[in-house]
Amino acid sequence: MGLFITFEGSEGCGKSFQSKVLYNKLYDLGIQVELIYEPGGTVLGNEMRRLLKKRREDDVVPETELFLFAACRAQLVAEIIQPSLQKGKIVICDRFTDSTIAYQGYGRGIQLATIETINCIATKGIKPNLTILLDLPVAQGLSRKKTKNRDRFEKAELSFHYRVREGYQKLAAAEPERWMVIDATLSKTEISNIIWDRVSQLLDLLHINYTTP
Ligand code: TYD
């Protein structure tokens, strides 16, 4: 089995940037690595991504959101995550099941036990080995996003974003061996160094050889 690393965090925390930095480092070392993101990452998933993010007049009820995210995930797991891990690759995913717990659970108020059941069906039980949380105060994160053309999530009321951040912090505290929490107000270089320290330790544990970048 390979190594599965996920990035999580609220709006504007910088996880897409940091997941690319990690991908590039691993790739440059000649390590077999895949970088994917949620929602999306497959043809069908990208179609659903558009539906989920689009600003719209009609209401999307939380349960619909939950099933759409889970549907994207099921496709991504079957098409990319499971086969890549079986080939021994490192898979980096920008958001995964914890996003659903934070956003649809803590944010929208769906019962956490329900979400866990649905997540488990979508992932076939696959869990990340390491989850990196880039933790950032809500106001700071939102101010990093452009004000024009905000998507449905970026436009949600402030209290929703506070609940999401708090949800992540609770998840990380409940499972400290899987989560690594990083202060996302640090500089980009400091953050990528912290991540690399941890990931290189994991590579050593798995006996994956590399030369220091
Ligand atoms: P995206 O543009 O990918 O944002 P980000 O760069 O913050 O990841 O948009 C994805 C949005 O979907 C983001 O606001 C979080 C939300 N989301 C959920 O609500 N539940 C989920 O399970 C996932 C994967 C994402």
133 pLDDT above the threshold of 90: yes
213 pLDDT above the threshold of 70: no
CA 198 to centroid of ligand 1, rounded, Å: 25
- For residues 2 and 85, is the Cβ–Cβ distance under 8 A? yes
How far is 207 from 18, CA to CA, in rounded Å?
24
Sign of CA dihedral 31, 96, 51, 124: positive
Round the average pLDDT of the chain to a whole number and report it.
94
* pLDDT in the model for residue 212: 61
Q: Catalogue the E-assigned strands of the chain.
A: 3-8, 33-37, 90-94, 130-135, 179-183
Decide: 16 in ligand 1 pocket, CB within 6 A: yes
Torsion of CA 91, 69, 55, 47, to 10 degrees: 70
208 pLDDT above the threshold of 90: no
Rounded mean pLDDT, 109-130: 98
CA 208 to centroid of ligand 1, rounded, Å: 31
Decide: 100 in ligand 1 pocket, CB within 6 A: yes
Instruction: Tell which residue, 159, 155, 138, has the closest CA to residue 54.
Output: 155
Decide: 161 in ligand 1 pocket, CB within 6 A: no
DSSP annotation of 56: -
Instruction: Tell which residue, 95, 84, 119, has the closest CA to residue 2.
Output: 84
How far is 17 from 25, CA to CA, in rounded Å?
13
CA 147 to centroid of ligand 1, rounded, Å: 17
146 pLDDT above the threshold of 80: no
Q: State pLDDT tens for residues 84-104.
A: 999 999 999 999 999 999 999
